């Protein structure tokens, strides 16, 4: 006997809705957002249990807490919907979507052996974003007074005071405070980077993936902590789409009548890259491709990039192509646990010419 459970989660309370395989509502309960209480509530449901929860702040905790209590647990991003809304309806719709197989977007939550590494990656990314925001705020003060201050100098300990003296007194104190914020956040960011590198040492695969072009230990750790297992993706195309490197096209009236019958018309229009992507991986591979295109002039992939540009492709699209090739290489390296071999890319380039 299958039971489908929808769990709508909030800070203080959770609403639990239970349906049978036929869609009949058999239970509804409001419980405290507490680990022990939630476990007891799920255990009280008889039969084979299938649980659905929304992606959110507490979804990772709920996944780890309840995955051993149910036969199936699904984390989803539900589509936006209009009309009436309350906790009971939300829980019911989650259970119904799981029962009918209507869930279109599932979120992978298992962290495997990389729980500590994933936490370190998140801390590193958060502090990096905070440093960027703080620097932008500091630079904005100079721009507001029409002072063209070099970014590298206003952030340096030995030069920032010279630039602060060019500001009016009303803005000078604000710039000094923001500079102290930049300095403190930069130190925390460096500490987070050390923690990230330390957390990646027990995982051999991070060292293997760091040999890929322009990946390095930081980006390799981000990839491993995000993907967890490469066998989630059967082909590199699936991995590209997950990373946000898939091209989206739109067409209509695809068929026209020709001399010999119906033929496909050439009306496809590119609409950019797919938006349902993993933002961390997209930044990793696009950043790696940019580094290959601008700095690694002796690498085979740089030669491939140059050929694409010389052939008439826009530099931005050429970098996307290189990002795809790096992503495909990383996926293959992970599956086979082998270090990067530039000769493979070189042989592909020769074959293409």
Spatial strand order in the sheet of 13-20: 25-32, 13-20, 2-9, 48-54, 72-76
Q: What pLDDT does 156 receive? A: 87
166-183 mean pLDDT: 92
Q: What is the pLDDT of residue 269?
A: 67
Question: For residue 4, which phi and psi values (nearest 5 degrees)?
Answer: -110, 120
Answer for the pair 70, 50: CB distance below 8 angstroms, yes or no: yes
Per-residue pLDDT, 350: 45
Report pLDDT digits (tens) over 300-323. Answer: 999 999 999 999 999 999 999 999
40/44 Cα distance (integer angstroms): 6
pLDDT at 140 exceeding the cut of 70: yes
Q: State how far the alpha carbon of 263 is from the alpha carbons of 228, 250, 258, in Å.
A: 44, 18, 6
Q: What mean pLDDT comes out for the span 53-79?
A: 93
Handedness of CA 221, 227, 232, 238 (dihedral sign): negative
User: According to the model, what pLDDT value does residue 352 have?
Assistant: 47
Going by C-alpha positions, the residue among 243, 244, 217 that lies closest to residue 230 is 243
Q: What is the mean pLDDT of the chain?
A: 91
Residue 345's pLDDT is 62
- Please state the rounded mean pLDDT for residues 133-159: 88
Give the sign of the dihedral formed by CA 175, CA 176, CA 180, CA 181.
negative
Q: Which of 59-63, 91-95, 106-110, 148-152 has the lowest mean pLDDT?
A: 148-152
**Residue pLDDT, tens place only, 271-311:** 788 888 899 999 999 999 999 999 999 999 999 999 999 99
Over 80: is that where the pLDDT of 347 sits?
no
What is the pLDDT at residue 226?
Answer: 95
C-alpha span between 68 and 38 (Å, rounded): 13
């Amino acid at each position: 006997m299958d039971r489908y459970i929808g769990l709508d989660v909030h800070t203080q309370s959770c609403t639990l809705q239970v349906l049978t395989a036929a869609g009949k509502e058999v239970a509804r309960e409001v419980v405290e957002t507490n680990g022990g209480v939630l476990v007891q509530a799920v255990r009280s449901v008889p039969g084979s249990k299938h649980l659905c929860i929304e992606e959110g702040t507490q979804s990772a905790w709920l996944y780890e807490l309840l995955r051993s209590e149910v036969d199936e647990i699904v984390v989803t991003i539900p589509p936006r919907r209009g009309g009436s809304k309350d906790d009971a309806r939300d829980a019911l719709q989650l259970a119904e979507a799981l029962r009918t197989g209507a869930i279109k977007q599932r979120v992978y939550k298992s962290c495997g052996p990389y729980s500590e590494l994933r936490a370190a990656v998140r801390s590193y990314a958060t502090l990096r974003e905070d440093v960027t925001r703080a620097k932008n705020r500091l630079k904005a003060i100079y721009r507001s007074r029409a002072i063209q201050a070099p970014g590298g100098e206003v952030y340096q300990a030995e030069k920032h005071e010279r630039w602060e003296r060019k500001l009016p007194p009303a803005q000078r104190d604000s710039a000094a405070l923001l500079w102290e914020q930049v300095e403190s956040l930069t130190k925390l960011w460096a500490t987070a980077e050390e923690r990230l590198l330390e957390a990646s040492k027990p995982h051999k695969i991070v060292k293997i993936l760091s040999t890929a072009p322009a990946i390095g230990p930081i980006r390799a750790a981000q990839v491993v902590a995000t993907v967890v297992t490469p066998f989630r993706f059967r082909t590199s195309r699936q991995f590209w789409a997950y990373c946000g490197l898939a091209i989206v096209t739109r067409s209509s009236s695809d068929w026209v009548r020709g001399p010999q019958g119906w033929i496909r018309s050439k009306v496809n229009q590119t609409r950019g890259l797919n938006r349902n992507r993993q933002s961390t991986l997209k930044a990793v591979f696009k950043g790696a491709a940019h580094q290959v295109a601008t700095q690694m002039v002796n690498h085979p992939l740089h030669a491939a990039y140059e050929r694409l540009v010389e052939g008439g492709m826009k530099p931005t699209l050429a970098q996307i192509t290189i990002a795809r090739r790096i992503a495909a290489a990383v996926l293959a390296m992970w599956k086979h646990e082998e270090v990067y071999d530039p000769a493979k890319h070189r042989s592909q380039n020769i074959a293409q010419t």
